[in-house]
Amino acid sequence: MSTSKKEAFAEIIRPLENYNGEGVHGCTTCKKAITVQLRIVDEVVVEAGGIAEGCYYSRQCLAALLTMIKGKSIYDLYPLTNEDLRPNLQTVKDDYDCDVFTIGALKIALKDWEKRMAA
């Protein structure tokens, strides 16, 4: 049974319903948004999800990120860069910036969580 590229990460990339941090970043490569949603409890990511509307590479980047961050402390996530993400990718495309924008969406989600906790 073959899996299409569109469905390749369907088991990993899913929107969350009860998230308490969300970040959306537009990707200049495919002109579509990458959304990261986090459910953080006691400063630990207990669930991560999101939406990658664009190309296969953006979905690959988001799937790798979601897998990487579950169970991690928010303090471990703040310093993450796209260079930390790249070893977890099946294919790295140097001429695409999806990995950078995926990390950007994560940082926006962390800031969103901070704002919600301060309110």
Mean pLDDT of the chain: 91
In a domain, 14, yes or no: no
- Contact (CB, 8 A) for 43 and 72: no
The one-character DSSP state at 88 is G
In a domain, 63, yes or no: yes
pLDDT tens digits, one per residue of 38-89: 999 999 999 999 999 888 899 999 999 999 999 999 999 999 999 999 999 9
Query: For residue 43, what are the contacts with CB-CB under 8 A and spacing of at least 6?
Result: 73, 74, 75
In a domain, 107, yes or no: yes
In a domain, 3, yes or no: no
Q: Which CATH number is 25's domain given?
A: 3.90.1010.10
In a domain, 93, yes or no: yes
HSE-CB of 87 using CA atoms within 13 angstroms: 5
pLDDT at 92 over 60: yes
In a domain, 4, yes or no: no
Print the domain residue range for 26: 21-113
| Most confidently modeled range among 6-15, 26-35, 54-63 | 54-63
First vs last Cα of the chain: how many Å apart? 49
- Domain total for the chain? 1
**The pLDDT value given to residue 29:** 74
Percent of the chain with pLDDT over 90: 72
